[in-house]
Amino acid sequence: MRDLNDAFGKALRDLRLGANLAQTDFPPKVSREYVSLLERGVRSPSLETIDDLAGVIGVHPLTLVLQCYLTREPETNVKQLLDEVQREIRLEMI
d(CA 37, CA 59): 21
Cβ-Cβ contacts under 8 Å for 79 (sequence gap 6 or more): none
Structural class in CATH, domain 4-93: mainly alpha
Please give the distance of CA 85 from its chain centroid, rounded to a whole number.
16
Where along the chain do its domains lie?
4-93
Q: How far is CA 36 from CA 15, 56, 82, in A?
A: 14, 15, 29
d(CA 69, CA 37): 19
Query: What tens digit of pLDDT does each residue of 45-92 get?
Result: 999 999 999 999 999 999 999 999 999 999 999 999 999 998 988 766
Query: What tens digit of pLDDT does each residue of 29-56 get?
Result: 999 999 999 999 999 999 999 999 999 9
d(CA 46, CA 50): 6
Write down the pTM of the prediction.
0.90
